[in-house]
Amino acid sequence: METILNLPIENKIFYAVLVFSWTVYLWEAYLAYRQRRIYRLTLQVPQELGKIMDTDTFEKSRLYQLDKSNFSFWSGLYSETEGTLILLFGGIPFVWKVAGTVTARFGLGPEYEIFQSLSFLILATLFSAFTGLPWSIYNTFVIEEKHGFNQQTLGFFLKDAVKKFIVTQCILLPVTSLLLYIIKIGGDFFFIYAWLFTLGVSLVLVTIYADYIAPLFDKFTPLPEGELKEEIESMSKSISFPLTKVYVVEGSKRSSHSNAYFYGFFKNKRIVLFDTLLEDYSPLNKDGEPETDTLTEDKSKLKVRLTQLRRELGHFHVDAEMSSIQFSPLPLSLQMNSFLCFFLFAVLIGQKELFMAFGFYNSQPTLIGLMIIFQFIFSPYNEVLSFCLTVLSRRFEFQADSFARGMGRASELCSALIKLNKDNLGFPVADWLFSMWHYSHPPLLERLRALGSTKQD
């Protein structure tokens, strides 16, 4: 103990970061073990769901979630081990030195720190992409394929990965260079300018994502005229939701999972539906056999789609009541957190010991400072914040469910939740501690109980 107390401050910081990282990993592993135990031992459909979930579906969802949990354990162990080895063997200063060698080949010395930072980012993201690729391939072509969700070919997958990397670099590099420049010239109040810049970037990206970025990967088409579109427009008007367009995204070329969401600011909001939500397309029925569930009747299908949207619009309704400018409380809290983090970064960036702890003895690059402080020093705070946001998100989900119930749609919402849970092979039983820590959306049983009904519509 005395030996540890006598260590230089930079060594204490380094070992504290390692110990905390492994503490979080072991905590997460313990929670995952509790949930895997649920998957292994819960072999019968819970009594409450006996009339709405058949044994075959229950078993498929159990095996799917068990496979995902086992995969998550091994990928998490690899990731934690890789991160530890990078820190122990000086991987970060090594890559920074290589980046300096690359920029020097173009006649740019150490004074061109921003260019060296961009070179460092490219090398680091390349390394991350290559080390993560085998895990992503296994997840897509073994686990998702085994359980009937994957719709991609290997060629499409690799092409998509390359495209994502290029688009990411096209956004990441200019944004990072401008942020570093602002920090360099911002003076004592640079943290305010940096925060405003990142806020502006996030607003721009949210605005242009669905119109200019997402179409690079998926096909978006306007929802055709018909009963569904008329019902969506009528429903939007009933709660003063400023709907401008309804799109259908071709998600079925990647996966048979289904979803729906809305985006946009102020009076320009749009709804996006996955084509797998519109079509009766799921791993449970894609062999062409009709389901016995009454949801396969045309009007019941329409109700399921609309009820999912009612929930999403419920988020808008709750947010609008809480904020006159119609910004969601979660993004607002994240921006407040972002400002706090930039302020603390301004306080800590001058501490040489932070850089020395990670192998930077002769220089203090701004990008490395951002990485050290935001990723490592703030990690305890980030864990607490993540848990608080999970709790808050669950509360909003219950509020959205309550809104749909208030519209007299409780039974339809129950049917929609059950249908989506079945189509995505969600497991309805969760360990209470795992659920509390991880689930931003409450488990199916909790939501049905909150709605006051577990009976099928």
Residue 110 in tokens: 């150490």
* CB contact at 8 A, 119 and 102: yes
DSSP labels, 174-211: HHHHHHHHHHHHSGGGHHHHHHHHHHHHHHHHHHHIII
Residue in 313, 370, 295 with CA at minimum distance from that of residue 338: 370
CA 84 centroid distance within chain: 24
Residue 401 annotated among the catalytic residues of the structure: yes
Rounded Cα distance between 256 and 282, Å, is 6
Cβ neighbours of 111 (radius 10 Å):
7
DSSP labels, 355-413: HHHTT-SS---HHHHHHIIIIIITHHHHHHHHHHHHHHHHHHHHHHHHHHHHTT-HHHH
Q: How far is CA 188 from CA 185, 346, 438, in A?
A: 9, 8, 39
Residue 276 in tokens: 């797998």
* CB contact at 8 A, 369 and 354: yes
Residue 114 in tokens: 């921003």
| Total residues found in the chain within this entry | 457
The DSSP secondary-structure symbol of 101 reads H
The dihedral region occupied by 105, where left means phi > 0, alpha psi between -120 and 50, and beta the remainder, is alpha
Q: CA dihedral in degrees (338, 344, 349, 350; nearest 10)?
A: 160
**Residue 315 annotated in ligand binding:** yes
Rounded Cα distance between 103 and 113, Å, is 9
3-state secondary structure of 417: helix
Strand partners, 272: 247, 261
Residue 248 in tokens: 């259908």
* CB contact at 8 A, 428 and 46: yes
* CB contact at 8 A, 428 and 445: yes
**Residue 257 annotated in ligand binding:** no
Residue in 377, 427, 150 with CA at minimum distance from that of residue 276: 150
Rounded Cα distance between 317 and 269, Å, is 13
Residue of 293, 401, 412, 457 marked active site: 401
Residue 312 annotated among the catalytic residues of the structure: yes
Residue 99 in tokens: 């980046």
* Residue ranges of the binding site: 315, 397
Q: Hey, which residues are catalytic here?
A: 312, 401
**Residue positions forming the annotated binding site for Zn(2+):** 315, 397
